[in-house]
Chains A and B, each alone.
Chain A
Amino acid sequence: MTTSAFDQFRPPEPERPGRRFGKLRRKKRPGPGRTDGSAEMLMVPDVEFESYYGHNIVKPPPWEWPVAAYLFLGGVAGGSGLLGFGAQLTGRAVLRRNARLGAMAAASVGGVALIADLGRPERFYNMFRTLKLTSPMSIGSWILGAFSAGTGVAVASEVDRLLGDRLPLGPLRKVLRAVEAPAGAEAALFAGPLAVYTAVLLSDTANPTWNGAHRDLPFVFVSSASLASGGLAMVTTPTRETGPARALAVMGVIGDIAAMKYMEHRMDPVAAEPLHHGTPGQLLRWSERLAVAGGLGALLGGRHRAVAAASGLALLTVSAFTRFGVFEAGLHSAKDPRYTVEPQLRRLAERRAAGITDDSITTAAPHWPSHS
């Protein structure tokens, strides 16, 4: 039936006649004879899914791989900050130096990646225009700044020592040596927050998968940061000083696997789906396998330099895979309306079943008592 000359440009009709909008309809139509409607509303376990021509509802953020790389690097920096401070307190000079250098490198490269991903990189300093407690991106910028400040001072001192006191510091050398330890402590204060805030940054969004993980993603991210920084120390530092790094890495592996499993278990099954499918699914599966291997390597062969280095590399890969996997899964969940609609319909139906009927955005009459 052509009613307009332009109809010829329409794409072909979909397969099932009469089911035009790519929707899964309710299996059971409401039965006749019921007039109050509430009973039907409460027994809709099969969530009906419809969309506007399959178009996504929430939008994925315009973030690309540098942001995922930062999730990884921020974790490495945070964990290394703690290792550096521990080494500073327990007199492990090589571990202290390497952890500090690692933290600084990760934080700087990560910071550059973040800036590169901005729409207007030349305005990056606007991140420090205000401190906003409701914005994890704002808090995180300050955390990264504060961490980098302390680490930078400590690293300057380390570099000076590495060069045999040859930085042209003059009388400032004394000052630098004096503030080095407090600077390391200051960095350590912000190390944990640096490792964790990215989890809140992802979760404090309308993104179905990231938001669905909001209660447990922080545990995944600190575990990932612990095993990655432990792994980095195992690569860079002789085994006689890496005992604590290995221990931290092993605890990180256990925490990572456990937190990930628990997180997926607690999420809405549909919101969790992108974590299992496609590239993110593969990354996360490999992350788990390598975590077991790297963890066992650290535990059993950590005193052997080559085994330690190989395990360390594996653990760094584990963390990178976890971050890229979670990142990509979230982007994917925002591109398909199903991940927005189904969990929302389910939670709405659950609240209605529990007798909460006044908080739906869809109403038969306005509900705005404060206006009357």
Chain B
Amino acid sequence: MSIDEHSVLGHQLHGPTDPAADAHWQVHKSRKGFFTDTSICIGCKACEVACKEWNRNPRDGDLELTGWSYDNTQALGASTWRHVAFIEQDRERIEEARESGRQLVSLGMPTVGPPAKTPEAATDSAIAAGADTSAPDTPEFRWLMASDVCKHCTHAGCLDVCPTGALFRTEFSTVVVQPDVCNGCGTCVAGCPFGVIQRRSDGTVEPTTGRGEQKGQQPEVEKKGIAQKCTLCYDRLLDDETPACAKTCPTTSIKYGDHTDLVDIARDRVAQLHEQGLTEARLYGANELDGVGGTGAMFLLLDEPQVYGLPPDPRVPTADLPVMAKRAGMAVAGMVTAAAIAFLGAR
């Protein structure tokens, strides 16, 4: 038995922190992450495919289409580590999104304007400023496309509750499962506030092609019974390579890089869209004061998070562990007292 010092005393349960330093990494690497700009995603699902191929992930489920869309993977899961959501919206809904985004600006958040601009960005915004910045004509309908992924949380519920130490924090501040350690207890599945990680059950590497071929006559699924999720391509990062999904993305909707740079890119992009009157644009995960201490993978969304299947106010459950421990201690004291009374009173 070894005492896991990462999670004993001195480990921060919530609030802003440097995750790799908090996990006592001696090597210093900058935090890596994604900024997924859904405003330019075309829904090609190339990232899903690239991820599947690179990680040799089996098929997930029976490829059923989500109601009223062409989304055939439906959600993140043990074998789908990138998931592209398709949402069709009418004009009324677009107007509502524009309004809810506008309200975020006036919520006392830090100002929208980027503090330091690059020369090109300044030119862009000058053009934008010269142009009409009132809300552009609202289209009749729109398709939202968004590529979702593990958030690589600053405070990761999955990692906190894993009993075996299979989940660990890498030197890049990402969260990765060691498949040879995980015993499939499934605690992490309940611990993730975003519903990302899952225990692998079924699926297959090879699709059925011939007539009459059945699912079930396919090869043994690798890593069955083990919790699986995006590794932020830990293997590729170690070789200084870009993660497969970001490398494949044809529109640069998925941007990979140092977290600090991504925050700047996100700031500029949301400001740019707001200047164009597209106030529906908002960031998700780019706040180190939020319930998970900010995320490594950030998103630019064009509507409320729940529309994309994202939780509107996630909170790492371990943040409340001290309260739970206290209440549990009181409960045990009560039980022992009751037992003592039972024996002393029943002479």
Residues of A within 8 A of B (CB): 6, 9-11, 13, 18, 20-21, 26, 29-30, 36-38, 40-41, 49-63, 79, 82-83, 86, 89-90, 117-121, 123-124, 126-138, 141, 192-193, 195-197, 199-201, 203-207, 210-211, 214-216, 218-219, 221-223, 225-226, 243-248, 251-252, 255, 334, 337, 340-341, 344-345, 347-348, 352, 357-371
Contacts and interface: CB of A to CB of B under 8 A. Distances in A.
Given A51-B309, A368-B287, 19 more contacts: A29-B96, A37-B103, A37-B106, A38-B108, A62-B199, A119-B225, A129-B2, A130-B163, A132-B8, A138-B164, A141-B163, A196-B332, A200-B328, A205-B317, A223-B335, A225-B335, A226-B335, A245-B342, A358-B287
Q: Which of A52, A128, A360 is the most central at the interface, judged by chain B CB atoms within 10 Å of its CB?
A: A52
Contacts, number: 399
Contact of A137 (B107, B187, B193): B187
A120 B313 contact: no
A249 to B, nearest CB: 9
Interface of B: 1-4, 7-9, 11, 13, 16, 18, 65-71, 74-75, 85, 87-88, 90, 92, 96, 99, 101-112, 157, 160-166, 181-187, 189-195, 197-201, 224-227, 259-260, 263, 266-267, 270-271, 274, 282-292, 294-295, 298, 301, 304-315, 317-318, 320-321, 323-325, 327-328, 330-336, 338-343, 345-346
Contacts of A118: 183-186, 225
Contact of B165 (A9, A40, A132): A132
A347 B7 CA distance: 28
Contact of A218 (B163, B309, B324): B324
Given A132-B165, A359-B287, A361-B287, A38 B106 contact: yes
A365 B283 contact: yes
B135 to A, nearest CB: 13
28 contacts: A11-B67, A18-B92, A36-B106, A37-B106, A38-B106, A59-B198, A61-B187, A62-B199, A63-B186, A119-B186, A127-B164, A129-B164, A134-B7, A204-B318, A206-B314, A244-B343, A248-B339, A252-B338, A255-B338, A344-B314, A345-B306, A345-B312, A360-B107, A361-B291, A361-B311, A363-B282, A365-B271, A369-B288
Contacts of A26: 96
Contact of B331 (A38, A129, A221, A357): A221
A128 B327 CA distance: 25
B321 A364 contact: no
A138 B285 CA distance: 29
B103 A40 contact: yes
A244 B1 CA distance: 38
Contacts of B285: 361
